[in-house]
Amino acid sequence: MKYSEEFKKSAVEKFLMRGNRSVSEIAQEMGIHIPTLYDWRNKFAKVGDMKKISKPQSRSAIEKFKAVTEYSMLSTDKRGEYLRTNGIHEENIAEWQKQIEEALSPKKKTFQENFQQQADQKKIKNLEKELLRKQR
């Protein structure tokens, strides 16, 4: 059966904005097969303000940072819509926020770095003592 572009786009929009409904429910409601719906989604993912959605784990660091900042600036009632439109879950936002905080926090020194720093401080102290002795 041949479907119009408008029908396909409306099916994709229903698919992307389905909330907690299953894909099979949407396909059954539209009278189409599930693989067909996925094919149309891949072809027509840009419906209105929606964009083609990639898996959350495959997003770049810049995309993750942008999502975290945009999400945090939204009011609580707009956050759900943002998550659905972008194909993200709250868990993704929380995980990405943690990754950003870890990346921006001061790096913890390793045992070897601490040991080297103590050795350098001892050396500096000894050199200062020697310099002071020579100045007298």
Please tell me the predicted confidence (pLDDT) of residue 53: 55
Please tell me the predicted confidence (pLDDT) of residue 47: 47
Average pLDDT, 10 consecutive residues per value, the chain (136 residues): 84 78 87 90 65 66 90 92 86 91 81 88 95 91
Question: Do residues 63 and 99 touch, judged by C-beta distance below 8 A?
Answer: no
- In single-letter form, the type of residue at position 37 comes to L
Please tell me the predicted confidence (pLDDT) of residue 97: 93
Please tell me the predicted confidence (pLDDT) of residue 43: 83
pTM, 2 dp = 0.44
